[in-house]
Amino acid sequence: MGHKFDVESRFSILDVIGRGAYGVVCAGRDELTGQPIAVKRISGIFEHTTFTKRTLREIRLMRLLQHENLLGIKSILHPVSR
């Protein structure tokens, strides 16, 4: 879909799952544990304060909520450049 995913070497990207208003989600795998993962790339996060606040809210909720139907946050990767 024209997006570049820079992930740690322990993660591999397998397939694009979907695209939303704020980013692209891909299926992947943690090569150390063999567990399936989802990688979300959020583009333009610092273009507007509203995008930044929504992303921060999502991260906070993902860290707090624990349910079998929700994925947890394993790692947060910083952007390569601003």
Residue spans per domain, the chain: 11-64
Fold of the CATH domain 11-64? Phosphorylase Kinase; domain 1 (3.30.200)
pLDDT band of residue 33 (cuts 50, 70, 90) is very high
pLDDT of 18 higher than 60:
yes
pLDDT higher than threshold 60 for residue 1:
no
Distance CA 16, CA 28 (A): 9
Quote the pTM value. Answer: 0.73
Calculated CA dihedral for residues 1, 29, 39, 17, nearest 10 degrees: 50
Higher pLDDT, 69 or 4: 69
Mean pLDDT score across all residues of the chain: 83
Question: Cα angle at 79 between 74 and 80, to 5 degrees?
Answer: 120
